Amino acid sequence: MLKVRPDRLDEYKRSHEAVWPDMLDALSRHGWRNYSLFLRDDGMLFGYFEAEESFRASLDGMAGEDVNNRWQELMEPYFEIPPGSHPDQMIVELEEVFHLD
């Protein structure tokens, strides 16, 4: 979960209408499956993905991708995070406590 700056919501949404093809390819190569982002009107953003191998392997794989570093730098100004931080450095794994198929 991250917080998008309220004054940047529309711009943030537009940026995800055209995610770079090489970014999409990198996500797929590193096991990101069923990846979705959900945004509330107040800027609260929730991301969900299923990892092919493991959560850590998917994050570590993307950390080594130049395209990911460029994307994170582009996304950084949209978020309420410490200056100089990349949004993907804020990702934490949540414990599933309930699931219904």
pLDDT one-digit tens code per residue, 28-74: 999 999 999 999 999 999 999 999 999 999 999 999 999 999 999 99
- For the four alpha carbons of 65, 76, 56 and 21, in that order, the dihedral sign comes to negative
Could you tell me if residue 77 is inside a domain? yes
Could you tell me if residue 95 is inside a domain? no
Residues noted as catalytic: 16
Chain-centroid distance of CA 76 in Å reads 11
Could you tell me if residue 82 is inside a domain? yes
Could you tell me if residue 75 is inside a domain? yes
Helix/strand/coil (H/E/C) assignment for every residue in 5-70: CHHHHHHHHHHHHHCCHHHHHHHHHCCEEEEEEEECCCCEEEEEEEECCCHHHHHHHHHCCHHHHH
Contact 5, 76 (CB under 8 A): no
The CATH number given to whatever domain includes residue 86 is 3.30.70.100
What pLDDT is attached to residue 17? 96
Sheet holding 2-3, edge to edge: 2-3, 44-51, 32-39
Indicate the residue type of 22: D
pLDDT over threshold 90, residue 82: no
What pLDDT is attached to residue 94? 87
Could you tell me if residue 101 is inside a domain? no
Mean pLDDT, the chain, rounded, equals 94
What pLDDT is attached to residue 79? 95
What pLDDT is attached to residue 71? 97
Residue numbers of the domain that contains 41: 2-90
- Count of the separate structural domains present in the chain: 1
How confident is residue 92, by pLDDT bands cut at 50, 70 and 90? confident
pLDDT over threshold 90, residue 91: no
